[in-house]
């Protein structure tokens, strides 16, 4: 989709730090890390939010999350927990309207940026 920042990232028109990629999804580090390793998982198909997912897309995206969570854990073995978050529509704090799932590693309180 034109003028979508995450479509541009998927198409490598804007640089990003890739965490994982396959034919269905692209995962990359959030530019504004809540904690180190904060990753966004986005479907390659442009959908604005969760309301636009069909069953197949939901399965494809969510089935890949455990694998990506384990990759983050491997990169940051000191990680002690992980939040999975998905904001939908402006009122719910969505700011980029290409659906994405936040994977936010949690460490000891001292390591937390927030
Ligand atoms: P939302 O608020 O929509 O749930 O999350 C959007 C996220 O996208 C924010 O955490 C923000 O830091 C991240 N973001 C926005 N623009 C860019 C960008 O150009 N590159 C990367 N890597 N992350 C971005
Ligand atoms: Zn898009």
- Please indicate whether residue 94, judged by its CB atom, sits closer than 6 Å to ligand 1: yes
Domain definitions of the chain by residue range: 5-111
CATH topology (fold) of 5-111: HIT family, subunit A (3.30.428)
Residue 110, pLDDT > 80, answer no
Nearest C-alpha to atom 12 of ligand 1 is from which residue? 32
pLDDT of 112 over the 70 cut: no
Cβ contacts of residue 43 below 8 Å, gap of 6+?
Answer: 24, 25, 53, 57, 60, 61, 99
Ligand 1 centroid vs 84 CA: distance in angstroms? 15
pTM of the predicted structure, to 2 decimals: 0.96
Residues 92-103 have pLDDT tens digits of: 999 999 999 999
C-beta 87 within 6 A of ligand 1: yes
Q: Please give the distance, rounded to the nearest whole angstrom, from the Cα atom of residue 31 to the centre of ligand 1.
A: 6
The residue-averaged pLDDT of 56-63 equals 98
What's the complex ipTM?
0.99
Residue, of 48 and 112, whose pLDDT is higher: 48
């Amino acid at each position: 989709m034109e003028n979508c920042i995450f479509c541009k990232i998927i198409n490598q028109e804007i640089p990003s730090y890739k965490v994982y990629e396959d034919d269905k999804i692209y995962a990359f580090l959030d530019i504004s890390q809540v904690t180190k390793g904060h990753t966004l998982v986005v479907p390659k198909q442009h959908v604005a939010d969760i309301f636009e997912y069909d069953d197949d897309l939901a399965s494809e995206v969510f089935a890949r999350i455990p694998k990506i969570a384990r990759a983050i854990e491997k990169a940051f073995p000191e990680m002690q927990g992980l939040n999975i978050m998905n904001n939908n529509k402006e009122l719910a704090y969505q700011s980029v309207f290409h659906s994405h799932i936040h994977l936010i590693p949690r460490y000891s309180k001292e390591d937390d940026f927030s």
